[in-house]
Amino acid sequence: MKKNPTLKDLARELNLSVSTVSRALQNHPAISKRTIERTLELAQKMGYFPDAVAKSLKKKSSRTIGVIVPEIRHFFFSSAIDGIEDVTYKEGYTIMVAKSNEDLEREVLNTEGLISNRVAGVIASISQATTRGLHFKRIIARDIPLVFFDRILEDMEVAKVLSNDFDSAYKTVTHLIEAGYRRIAHLAGPEHLNISQKRLGGYRQALKDHGMEVDPNLIICCHLSEESGARGARNLLAQSPPTDAICCINDPVAVGVYQELRQAGLNIPNDVGVTGFSNNPITSMLSPTMTTVDQHGYKLGQTAARILLEEINNQRPVTTDQTIFIDGELIVRQSTQPQNINT
């Protein structure tokens, strides 16, 4: 017996044609129930698995969805992947996850690998180093449907699924103002990222609408990591007068801020209030617990997957330039509830 039995092996054992065996494995209505049962039973006994590579060569695509994310350890992206997988699995697809590690060159290799594997479609969130989309345009040039989520390239005419970042940031800063904070800083992300621009826009607008000055010295662009959050906090604490609240681009940056404030001997939230963005589970375990925004990553992933499957099944144009927004939810916790702040 071969280690990897083929359709020919099954057909020979069953005394059937290869085409009949192939259709029986696909539960084709033209094949009798008894033949289907015999075929499936033998396939299981012999350890037969369909040759996905051969199928993809024949059909020029596979039953695999490619997913590209900046990282997996970030709760937002892992929950989005869960949402993607749950939707695609029900439709008979598997997913192939590739992470860029926030590196453009690695992201390019990810796209090339997915094209080579003849994926049926791609769902992607760009790295913080990505400023151009030639590698993603190659995907479209191969007639492979592409959907962006969360971090996107604005100039590409494909479907996009986003958190309502402007509104969520606006609500966060409004909450800080209502809690009594007056010198509110923002640790923003890389300037070219859409999430950075929208969250910064919400921060600015909330201050303006409440009659407060937008101080450029209180806006610091940083990478999306704990280390960058700590550096940003150090810069803010060196200013005079110091900030009394820090609104962070994401939860990892806010965690870095926590670490720096503790080293400086400052109390959260009485000396400095802190907010994150993503609702990573760690935010509810910190002391004090962290105010953040739930982006509903699982729902974003589900929505992106449904749109992609519609494109694969020709239910919508592949180049649909449509943007769908998912509202975030402000989760108020202890890090922004001061006991003795001066208003």
Which of 16-25, 78-87, 308-317 is the most confident on average? 78-87
Q: What is the pLDDT of residues 222-249, one digit of tens each?
A: 999 999 999 999 999 999 888 999 999 9
Q: What is the pLDDT of residues 180-207, one digit of tens each?
A: 999 999 999 999 999 999 999 999 999 9
Please tell me the predicted confidence (pLDDT) of residue 2.
44
Mean pLDDT, residues 121-127 taken together: 97
CATH number, domain at 34? 1.10.260.40
Among 72, 114, 52, 133, smallest CA distance to 308 is for 114
Is the bond into 242 cis (omega within 30 degrees of 0)?
no
pTM metric for this prediction: 0.81
Mean pLDDT, residues 322-341 taken together: 90
- The answer as to whether 1 is a domain residue is no
Same domain, residue pair 74 and 192: no
- The answer as to whether 153 is a domain residue is yes
- pLDDT band of 162, cuts 50, 70, 90: very high
Same domain, residue pair 192 and 143: no
Total structural domains in the chain?
3
Same domain, residue pair 222 and 264: yes
CATH number, domain at 263? 3.40.50.2300
- The answer as to whether 213 is a domain residue is yes
- The answer as to whether 2 is a domain residue is no
pLDDT over 90 at 4, yes or no: no
Same domain, residue pair 90 and 133: yes
Same domain, residue pair 157 and 217: no
pLDDT over 60 at 1, yes or no: no
pLDDT over 70 at 50, yes or no: no
Amino acid at 274: V
- The answer as to whether 215 is a domain residue is yes
pLDDT over 70 at 343, yes or no: no
- The answer as to whether 308 is a domain residue is yes
Domain end point (choices 16, 33, 50) = 50
- pLDDT band of 167, cuts 50, 70, 90: very high
Same domain, residue pair 159 and 302: yes
Q: What is the pLDDT of residues 64-85, one digit of tens each?
A: 999 999 999 889 999 999 999 9
Residue-range definition of the domain harbouring residue 216: 165-294+330-336
Same domain, residue pair 16 and 67: no
Work out the number of other CB atoms within 10 angstroms of the CB of residue 171.
18
Same domain, residue pair 176 and 268: yes
- The answer as to whether 341 is a domain residue is no
Please tell me the predicted confidence (pLDDT) of residue 210.
97
> HSE of 139 in the Cβ direction (CA atoms, 13 Å)?
33
9-12: long-range pairs with CB below 8 Å, 24+: 9/46, 9/48, 10/39, 10/42, 10/43, 10/46, 10/48
pLDDT above 90 coverage of the chain, percent = 77
Same domain, residue pair 236 and 175: yes
Please tell me the predicted confidence (pLDDT) of residue 29.
84
Same domain, residue pair 159 and 175: no
Average pLDDT over the chain reads: 91
Same domain, residue pair 206 and 186: yes
Same domain, residue pair 273 and 129: no
Sheet holding 146-149, edge to edge: 94-99, 64-69, 121-124, 146-149, 159-163, 323-326
- The answer as to whether 79 is a domain residue is yes
pLDDT above 70 coverage of the chain, percent = 92
- pLDDT band of 45, cuts 50, 70, 90: confident
